[in-house]
Amino acid sequence: MTKDDALELIERMPYIPAFVISNERNRLSALRAAQKSDDPVEWIKVIKTIYICRNDPKTGRRPSDDEAATEQQAKIQLQNLLVPALGLDPEQLDSFIEKHLANMW
């Protein structure tokens, strides 16, 4: 992945939808399949889905241990893709993404 590809992916992040699957078993299956794919957009969907689950008071639930582990693996995969392309240290990635997205608006 080139630096331009990485920046384009970051700029697309706000527009990538989370999964909307009400059945818990089907949701976990879809999350695992997305995490195992080679598509970083699918990894972002996993991360967004679990983030929403964790932070939306309407859901009234926390992610299961399996969902949290799937999210963590997706984060690692995304980090392993973006960090070398952007020439960053892994600890810098989250703040870089936040700043880059904030500068877009």
Do 47 and 10 contact (CB within 8 A), yes or no? Answer: no
R_g (Cα) of the chain, nearest Å: 14
- The residue type of 64 is S
Question: Domains in the chain, please, with CATH?
Answer: 3-104 (1.20.58)
Please state the separation of Cα 19 from the chain's center in Å: 11
105 against 84, higher pLDDT: 84
Kindly report, residue by residue over 60-97, the tens digit of the pLDDT: 678 889 999 999 999 999 999 999 999 999 999 999 99
Name the pTM for this structure: 0.90
